[in-house]
């Protein structure tokens, strides 16, 4: 729990605090929750209308990955195209992705503000051909 409560806290007091629990216990609770969603649901009405239909898991994966006119049967959304995850996948070369990950770790690990800024600039130069679909590093607050 963060922030931590005092070790000497009484059980009755601790039980009233709203906080997260160990993921293992949370997983058991979620599994046993009678209100958990056990099917893939797709919206069939306008947002907020609470209209849903159950679709096969394989269809959900295809639609999430491929995108397209996923809501063409909904009035007002016939021509709306949803970008799929395949369209958002910017860096497809696993070697480059690993190099970028290691460099980002290096940036995050640097404590000196000036050195961190220099590393961001170096990152932009080194990976200039792969930044088209990435989050612009200039937007990061360097602290």
Q: Does 19 reside within a domain? A: no
Over residues 6-16, the mean pLDDT reads 82
Asked if the model's pLDDT at residue 71 lies above 60, the reply is yes
Q: Which of 57, 73, 88 is the last residue of a domain?
A: 88
* pLDDT attached to residue 13: 82
Residues 98 and 84 in one domain: no
C-alpha span between 85 and 66 (Å, rounded)? 7
- Give a yes or no: residue 107 inside a domain: yes
pLDDT at 21: 62
pLDDT value at 103 more than 80: yes
Residue 1 clears pLDDT 70, i.e. is over it: no
Shared-domain flag, residues 46 and 82: yes
Out of 22-36, 75-89, 94-108, 120-134, least confident range: 22-36
The domain of 46 spans 40-88
The pTM of this model reads 0.50
Q: What is the pLDDT of residue 143?
A: 47
Q: What is the pLDDT of residues 12-37, one digit of tens each?
A: 888 777 776 666 667 777 777 888 77
Quickly state the pLDDT bin for 109 (edges 50, 70, 90): very high
Domain count, the chain: 2
Task: State which of 88, 107, 127 marks the end of a domain.
Answer: 88
Same domain (yes/no): 75, 111: no
Residues 83 and 99 in one domain: no
- Looking at beta carbons, which pairs linking 130-134 to residues 24 or more positions away fall under 8 Å? 130/90, 130/91, 130/93, 130/96, 130/100, 132/90, 133/88, 133/89, 133/90, 133/91, 134/90, 134/91
Mean pLDDT of 63-75: 94
Same-domain check for residues 102 and 125: yes
């Amino acid at each position: 729990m963060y922030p931590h409560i005092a070790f000497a806290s009484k059980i009755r007091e601790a039980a009233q605090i709203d906080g997260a629990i160990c993921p293992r216990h949370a997983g058991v609770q979620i599994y046993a929750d009678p209100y958990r969603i056990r099917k893939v649901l797709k919206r069939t009405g306008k947002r907020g209308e609470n209209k849903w239909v159950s679709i096969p898991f394989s269809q959900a994966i295809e639609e999430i990955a491929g995108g397209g006119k996923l809501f063409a049967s909904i009035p007002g959304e016939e021509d709306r195209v949803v970008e799929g995850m395949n369209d958002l996948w910017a860096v497809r070369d696993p070697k480059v992705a690993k190099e970028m990950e290691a460099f980002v770790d290096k940036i995050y690990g640097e404590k000196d503000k000036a050195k961190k800024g220099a590393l961001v600039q170096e990152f932009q130069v080194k990976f200039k051909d792969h930044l088209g679909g990435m989050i612009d590093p200039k937007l990061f607050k360097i602290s």
